[in-house]
Structure 1
């Protein structure tokens, strides 16, 4: 009985660590996105001809498409719990373990 409790606690800890790692990865991605895109803005502003507008498609290409990738990354980190519910993964694991238990008999 005590071993089951320790296993369950370790399993919860492992899942929590994995979740924190995913969130941390997303925030790192956001930080790199902001820093790199700020650098690109500064470089693009320095390369403008006198009287030339900054608002040109090529100045927003990286910002836009990388931003879409960042959005997808954020959705993959935060949205599954909203769509599938908090305990969906745990319920599925238990279901598959039960199915496997009956198959192995």
Structure 2
């Protein structure tokens, strides 16, 4: 594979991962804001104060649970490449290709 094509494919892959993360983040904020607004309005209609309705555990639960998933996604996009290296995919691909080559040599 041409070096420039390889670099282009790698850059496109990184951009796609970033795009998926930022989309996930935007959906997280929008959906949780709507859920919170509905729950707060419902609580206030039932006689709760804004503070009580807003800081209710069930109101904040979706932010916390989904937030943990979002943190895992962020780690996979930003933290993991720093730990295992940016080129781990290429190393794994090369490893699998080498293993296939060894298998082919055994049966020839």
The answer to whether the 8 Å contact 2:40/2:59 transfers is: no
Alpha-carbon spacing, 1:104–1:46, altered in 2? closer, same or farther (3 Å): same
Distance in 1 (alpha carbons) for counterparts of 2:99 and 2:7: 21
Match runs of 1:89-100 below 5 Å: 89-100=89-100
Q: State the TM-score, normalized to the length of structure 2.
A: 0.75
Q: How many residues align?
A: 100
Secondary structure of the corresponding residue to residue 104 of structure 1: helix
1:2-30: CA deviations, max 9, x gaps?
xx5x3x32122112211210110000000
Distance in 1 (alpha carbons) for counterparts of 2:26 and 2:74: 13
The higher relative CO (CA closer than 8 Å, separation ≥ 6) is in 1
Match runs of 1:38-77 below 5 Å: 38-47=33-42, 48=44, 49-51=47-49, 53-54=52-53, 55-77=55-77
* Deviating more after overlay: 92-101 vs 46-55: 92-101
Q: State the TM-score, normalized to the length of structure 1.
A: 0.77
